Amino acid sequence: MRRRIIVTVSAVVIGGLGLGAALWFGAVPHWRPALEDGERYGIDVSAHQGEIDWQAVADDGIQFAYIKASEGQGWVDAWFTENWEGAAAAGLDRGAYHFFTLCAPGEAQAENFLAAAPPDDDALPPVIDLELTGNCSDRPPTDHVSAEVDAFVQLVEEAWGRHLLFYVRPDWDDVYPVRDGLDRRLWDYRFFRRPTDDRWHVWQVNTFAHVDGIDGDVDLDIMREGEDGEVGED
């Protein structure tokens, strides 16, 4: 009898885990938070997604895309141009972002980004991506990193004539604090939870969404109305 109970309980537990896994991998990637007034769905992509059917993406309710343009001082995303043109052809608003590395001067990184993504008045505000995940192994002093980030921001904002949007992951902010006192709007990563910082302009909901036109996972974002003004405006 005891053995039968153990077997039964084990079967129930295994069945429950299986159902939970099915719901997680089947339903959750397709779930999208309800939009509030002035909000819309978007995605952010890089070469990791490979070829994208942008019309299918648009038909799946996605209205904007942030596209990786560059990283460091010499790397340009191989799919940037195709994604940039494809998103526009499908009617999506589009913006470019740069992955900032700790292993290169900020000025050289700005030049790399601007060569890949020159100023475009019709584009969304450009983005600086600050995170340690996937970054180089160097960990320079905080004041050095701050100066290099400032150099990048100054050059890009002068060229674009617009304020940058800051994507700051917690791992970066723990080592190189940026958010406190930042006078720029944020692209905030909050796993399924709405941002609590009033400066957020884009909310990255998760990193494993399923969207038509893309094979595999993609980052799901929500944007709300309002953008940074021109450089020099307060």
| 67-98 pLDDT tens trace | 999 999 999 999 999 999 999 999 999 999 99
Q: Which fold has domain 36-224?
A: TIM Barrel (3.20.20)
Q: Is the pLDDT of residue 24 over 80?
A: no
Confidence tier at 225 by pLDDT (50, 70, 90)? confident
Contact 229, 163 (CB under 8 A): yes
Q: Is the pLDDT of residue 21 over 50?
A: no
Q: Is the pLDDT of residue 174 over 60?
A: yes
In the prediction, which pLDDT does 226 show? 75
In the prediction, which pLDDT does 84 show? 98
Dist CA 151 CA 160 (whole Å): 14
Query: Which of these, 44, 53, 98, 48, lies nearest to 71 by C-alpha position?
Result: 98
In the prediction, which pLDDT does 126 show? 98
Q: Pick the residue with more confidence: 138 or 95?
A: 95
In the prediction, which pLDDT does 227 show? 59
Average pLDDT score over residue span 146-172:
97
What are the distances in angstroms from CA 132 to CA 35, 101, 136, 172, 220?
30, 8, 8, 5, 20
Dist CA 72 CA 68 (whole Å): 12
In the prediction, which pLDDT does 16 show? 43
Average pLDDT score over residue span 150-157:
98
Enumerate the H helices of 161-227 as residue ranges. Answer: 170-175
Confidence tier at 105 by pLDDT (50, 70, 90)? very high
Global pTM value: 0.85
35-72 pLDDT, tens digit each:
999 999 999 999 999 999 999 999 999 999 999 999 99
Confidence tier at 102 by pLDDT (50, 70, 90)? very high
Q: State the chain's mean pLDDT as an integer.
A: 89
Residue extents of the structural domains in the chain: 1-30, 36-224
Contact 175, 188 (CB under 8 A): no
Helix or strand (DSSP H, E) at 211 = none
Contact 207, 217 (CB under 8 A): yes
Q: Is the pLDDT of residue 11 over 90?
A: no
In the prediction, which pLDDT does 149 show? 98
Confidence tier at 231 by pLDDT (50, 70, 90)? low
CA atoms within 13 A on the CB side of 74: 2
Tokens representing 175 are 């080592």
Query: Which of these, 106, 226, 227, 81, lies nearest to 164 by C-alpha position?
Result: 227
CA 56 remoteness from chain centre: 20
Q: Is the pLDDT of residue 113 over 90?
A: yes
Q: Is the pLDDT of residue 175 over 80?
A: yes
